Amino acid sequence: MSATYVETDSVQVDADLVSTVVGRGGYTHPLFDVATHGESTPLPGQGVLLLAGGLVEQSGVLDDAVALLEMKSVRFTQMVRAGDTLRVRVTPGSHRATSSGKHVQEFAWQIVVVASPHGVDTVAEADIVMLMNTPVPGV
């Protein structure tokens, strides 16, 4: 844990995961043709977000969440490929109470590849809005 964010555990992306997401997701763009690109086939961005969401849930930071309301903004800065290890840095943001007593809270997600040749590289950033029973204070 940092003074400003919670860092999740990690997940290893392997060739089987990429192939499964591409196949089950029905991706047809040539970039995702596993037969052509083999283990260098990138994981589609939606797959990156799927893994990030699971990591964030496992971290406990959203234990009091009711529902995902919105992905306000998502920016991909690098491709994720087999062999990459992902983590998410979650920064709780502002919140407001609803008429029902729940809270709408914003979170910033920074999805990073760890142990890259450059140390830690950001592969995506997302601004997430959650409905919470109780807001998460800034850490």
Report DSSP letters for 29-61, one per residue.
SGGG-HHHHGGGPEEPHHHHHHHHHHHHHHHTT
| CA–CA gap between residue 43 and residue 24 (Å, rounded) | 12
Q: What is the average pLDDT score of the chain?
A: 92
pTM of the complete model: 0.91
Confidence of residue 2 (pLDDT cuts 50, 70, 90): very low
The string of pLDDT tens digits covering residues 15-33 is 999 999 999 999 999 999 9
| Averaged pLDDT for residues 92-120 | 89
Determine the pLDDT at residue 119. 63
